[in-house]
Each structure stands twice: as structure tokens, then as C-alpha cells.
Structure 1
Amino acid sequence: MHRTSTFNALKRNPAIAVICATVLLCFGSLAFAEPWDPAAADYSGNKGKTIYVSKLGDNSDGSTWEKAFNTIQAGLSAIPDNNGGHRVIVRPDTYVEANLYTGHPGAKGSYNLLVGDGDGKLGSGATGWVVVDSSCPGVAVRVDTSLAHKFGNPPFKIVESDQPESGLKSVDWWGPVKCTPEYSTDDWDRWILRNLYSAGSEGGFSWAYTNREGAELSGLMENCVGIGRFSGTCAAGHVGRKDEPVVYRHCYYANLDWWGDAGGVYVRAHHTSMPDFPDAIFEDCTIVSPDNALQCAYPSFKLYTRVKFKDCRLITLNFSQPGGTPGSGIICCDIDGKYLHVDFEDCILMGYKVFGKGSVQGNKIAGSGETDPSYTIKGRVSAYVHYMQPLPEGFERLGLWPTEAFSRIAPPSVSSAAIPDAVGPAAK
């Protein structure tokens, strides 16, 4: 079926292209103008509370490194109000925790910050990653089938078990942040997450509005790693704020499955028409997946989503022969393509084909409609795909294996050298 893309529309009408370029330039400036970051030198928002987390602290009140709380949850629970500007600073170590909640969103102009002291400049005396491992050995988690009649994806329950219960906990809703069908992550709205490495469960640090679908969301993840069965990160159920976008910067995301709606990253917004701004912006990110770098929506969903990728590497590993189990698309949208728009700028893609649907795989359900998503291209956007697969107009076809891009399929090393100096001035 013939597809009329936004790229073709821009080519026919240069005036529209100029307008779109201006809008994209504004997006770029917004993404880097962060006066709401309490770690910024020019921060002018609410001067909130600084809370320390370290396994070496005495677990008293978190007011200093010596008095630091021993768990991230204890640090988050010490946030006093919704005024924003609060900082939870964590010493590099491995924290075996799951279902973290804050109880307090940030505020406009005063975001909250959860940051790992990756380079030791905030006084922890350590360097490296803050690893949040939600494998939680010894904790037995099962699907609560008694609630299957109420929810399509029932919540989990914790049960007694005489088994080791160690390994990846791939159970719906189990992850580093608390989220269930009746509990949204709106307490993480207007938060910054920085220098965090999450793994061991369904997904990495994510935002998901389950019982608050259509509410606004803003946030920043920077210098983070997210690895999960379902997705490396997720932003779902929300609508973005035009002047406060959801931004992922200098991050690595990977998922470990191709069943259902799994993807390297999962984005599903709830607009009644296509917005003129992204619901999620990925800047200088590496996204790795067995099948789909971006997964959007699910069959029967009929609302609109817009995503932007800038300076990103989108890598899917399924290069099956056409007669085998071919990949369902680096960008996978299981509904009519009109509901998804993607802005690409200076990106490289690897996989069986660029756009697709899960219907090509026996264990996925076909979505309605046959059209691909609309898209724009800025700068050089190249793709290395199966040799028999055509490329959408505007993509540069790569004939040789992209060695540099593929060398980045593993997350950054757990060392101080892997974490950029982006945590701001030392905490006082």
C-alpha cells in the first residue's frame, strides 16, 4: 500500500520544511535549557532538602554521608513535600530494591533529583554506577490470577516459597518503580534521574500512567542504563508538556524479549490528535532489542503519539531470513500508522527493516491498518537492513556493516570513566 509520509510533504512544500525546522530547533534548545535542575549552577527554584543514601551510613536521618540512609527507598520516603528542588544523592553500590515510590512529584521550575555520585565529586568517596537490581533473590513474585477478571494484565503478589527465587523477575508490574493497574507513577513527575543502572525485572526506570491516563508528564533521565524483559524504559499513558518535555539523554536501553509489546523503549501517549511536539525525546541514546527498538501502542489502541530521536543508535538483532521469523520493524507500531509520528535527526538504525508491525510474528497480534508511521528526517539518518528490504524515502542505505554503532550494543562499563561529569556542583 502506498504511504504518504511527512517527508514527502516537506519535500513538496519548502515553507512547511522551514516551519518544521524552526520547531525542531526550539525543541533542541528546550532540551538543554534546564533552570529547573537543582544541580545546575544557575538553579533558581525552590531550595529543597538534600538526602544522602549509602550502605556505609548509620541509617539515621540522611542529612550527611555519615548519617545516610541505607536504602534508596528510605531516602525517597524522606522527601517532605511537593515543592520540588529536593535531591537524593546515592553512593555508588548495588541496591537490591524494587517498586520504588516517592510520594511527591517535583514542581514547575523546581524538579526533584535522584542522582548517583558516579564520579565521587558529591562526597561519597566512591566511583562507578548506582546499580538498582530488582532481581531481589529470595522474594517470590507471582501473577495475581484472582484479579484477572478485573485487569488485562493483573498485578503481582508476593508469596511464600521454598525455592531460591533468584534470577530475572519477569512478572508484569515488577520493576524498579512502583506501578500497578491502580497505581500510576505520577509521583515521579518532574523528576530527574541521573547516573543510575537498573536491571533484573520487567523494565528499567520508567513512567507509566495506568489509572491516570491522559495526565501530563515531564522528566529527564540522563546518563542512565535500563535493561528489562519488557523494555529498557517506558513512557506510557501520558501527554507531554510542550514546554517541559520528557527527555532521555546519554542513556543506554535494552530489552530482552520480542513477545507481545516488548521493545527497547516503549512510548505510548494519549493525545486525541497528533501533537506538534514530541511526547518523548531521546538524545544520544543507544537502544538495543531482539526485535523492536521502539514499540508503540497495542492492537485496538486509537490515540496519538509523537517521538523524537536525535543522535541515537537504534539496533535490533533479528536479521532472520524472510522464510524464517523476520523482524517486525526497528520501529514497531501495532496499530494504524497514522497514530505514530517519529522525528529522526542524525541517527543510525540497524535491523531487518525500518517500520513494521508485530503481525509478522506468530505470537503477536496484528494491529488494524496497513500504513507506516509518518516521519521527518533532519541531517543524516542511515539504516543497515536486510538486503532485500526497501528503505523509506529519505533514509541513507548502508551497504557495509556499521562497526562503530554495533560496538555499542553493550552498556557502558561499571566504572567512573563511563559516567560523564554531569551531576552539577557538589552538594553542600
Structure 2
Amino acid sequence: MANAPITVRTVKGLDCQNYVGLRAPTNFKFNNVRTAMKSQPPRLLVMGLSDAECEAAVVAGNVPEAPPVPPKPAPPAGTPVVPSLPLNRRPRRNRRSPALRASFQETNISPANFVYPLFIHEGEEDTPIGAMPGCYRLGWRHGLVEEVAKARDVGVNSIVLFPKIPDALKTPTGDEAYNENGLVPRAIRLLKDKYPDLVIYTDVALDPYSSDGHDGIVREDGVIMNDETVHQLCKQAVAQARAGADVVSPSDMMDGRVGAMREALDAEGYEHVSIMSYTAKYASSFYGPFREALDSNPRFGDKKTYQMNPANYREALTEMREDESEGADILLVKPGLPYLDIIRLLRDHSPLPVAAYQVSGEYSMIKAGAALKMIDEERVMMESLLCLRRAGADIILTYFALQAARCLCGEKR
């Protein structure tokens, strides 16, 4: 091989001056690589040589040119000169560039993780909700369908419906909740007719339908009746399943409602319909804007006799174990960000999927802070959602679903 003539070929159309380290090729022949190298200064091998020719040249000492070793960056004036700390492990090494940070990211989020809560009403027009900028009561015939189409375009294919019921249809026992031609069943049928693969979650509770504004039937002394309420909720869940709901979601916090609901659904042939139980729903002050959206504030008192005390942690395990034993398919924590410890608690103690609800108060605070130029809305929004995922939420119910999905897809609207 050493005695074979080597030809350095030119590359047509290549302007070598525009490439670092490349020199203009020259046509020449030599019989011995070592002899040729002694008579000529080392030079870069030109494109067009075979692998064997390149290797032979390097072995002979004709090493290709490369950029010089970059100089060590200088510290600012006044930086103290100190010996390096004797550290075997420096975690910052894995954070030093965007590529490395992306490589080692433990938690990821995608539009598939979002469930989009949508408010609907009987009107034709979409009505803005003052306490929730960017949210509307959507007309069930048009606005709802259009909003679902927007969400599906960016990968959000799960929604949950919340109805604003006319006051004239509200009663102490909330019978409108299981009217099979009511607002929610009609909206489900319409959406399923247009988008058969859309995943529809529903809310199972009496407060939108109750003249008292509570999640259950109220006795004359103000006590929320548990078992009688569960009876109504089972009829509501069956009506929603019959309309085409994929997941019914009891948010009422009555005792025993998951087991009763599972039995009622199965008896009617809806074994395939899932139950997402509001397992740890706290009596929170973060729900205010939501109640404005649905005009569902309690007429008297509060919901502390059935929703959980925000001070309690271990109690969530009791609720979790009951829901698991009664047949829940998904466990939900509400609110979300202020209750990350509860999300992690359920995640560590249950094999079931865990959902988190980023509630209206969380949403509105971010919107208000952004409007006042106090925070970067997009960054805070995405960080809050990522934190819910990091805590252990498989899915997130969030009013940011469409906006966040557009960010993840690279859209700016």
C-alpha cells in the first residue's frame, strides 16, 4: 500500500475559503507517503480520499487541522483565587446546558395529560366569565363544539362538562340532574355525534341543580342528607352514561357513593363507563370563581360537613381506601397546587391513576398576576402544570388546557 500512488482529488464547486480548516485542493501524485510528507509541510486531507488513504496519512503524521482548544474563560476582576473543593460529585454538571437538562428531565407533560373543563349554558352566545379571564359559558350548540375542535387541534381530546342550569329548573332535590333530555345529556350526544372518539368526563353532584346550592339534599335543619343524595346521584350517573359519557365523576363527597354508582351503572349495562372519584376534595377557598361561573353558591352555610378539612392529611388515605374498595377507576385531588402533598400521598399509596384539579382560583390568580405584569403568565402556567405532574398526577383538569397545549405545540395565540 505504501508504494501505491495516491491521488488527492479535487472537489468541484467547493469554496474552501468558506470552511474552517479546508485548503484549496491541488492535483499531485507521490509514490511514497513518508517521502512526500518530508518534502511538504503538513496539510489538511481534502474531501474525496478513501478511508484507507486518510488513515495512512494520519499514521504518517499528516494530522488534519482542527480549531484550537478554546481558552479558559476568565473570571471577573476581583474574583478570589481559591483551591477547588474536593468534590467527587457535582450535580451541576448535569445542568450545564439545555441539551443535558432535557436529557435528564424526570417529568414530562403533553396535551394528552390535560382534561379541559368547559362551562355550558342554554344560550346561543358565549358569555364571558368575569372572574375567569379567557373562560366562557359556552352555548351548547355552537360555542361548545367550536371550543372542542380547537382543543382537539392541539392534542387535547378529553373534556369535562359543567352546566349553568336555569334557576326555574332548580329544586331542593335536584331532579333536573337526571333529566335525560337535560343540558348535559344533550351536549354529550351532540359531541359524540360529531367526535365519536372524544373522551367526555361529567360532573356528578347536585349543586348546579339544587335550589339550595349544596351538593346534596338539605334537610330542614340544614343537614346534608347522605344516602338520599346518593340515590339521586346514581340516577344522574346512569343518565349521563346513557347519553354517551365515558367517565362519570362524583364530586359531591357523600359517603358510599362510588360503590352505589358502580352497582347502578353495571345494572344498566354500563360496565365500561369509568368512575373518577373526587377522593380528596377539600373545603377550599379557591373555588370562588367557579361558583360565579355556574351561579352555584350555597344559599346558606358552607360545605364543610362533606368536603374535607384543609388541615387534614391522613384523612385522604381513608377516603382513598374507601374509593378503591368501592370500585373507583381514577382518584382525584382538588384543589391542585396547594395540595401537592396530597397528590403525592395518593400516588405513593395507590396503584390507580391519580388526577389533579387545577381549580378556578389557581387559574384566576395566575391570570391576575400576569395582567398586573407581576409574573410571566406562560412560564408560571407551564411550571404550575409541571409541578402537578411531578407530584404524581397522571391527568390534570385545568382551564389552561387549550393555552398550555398550544404552547407545547409551539403556537403563540
What TM-score do you get using the length of structure 2 for normalisation?
0.30
- Choose between structure 1 and 2: higher strand proportion: 1
Structure with larger RCO (C-alpha < 8 A, sep 6+):
2
| Structure (1 or 2) with the larger CA radius of gyration | 2
What TM-score do you get using the length of structure 1 for normalisation?
0.29
- Choose between structure 1 and 2: higher helix proportion: 2
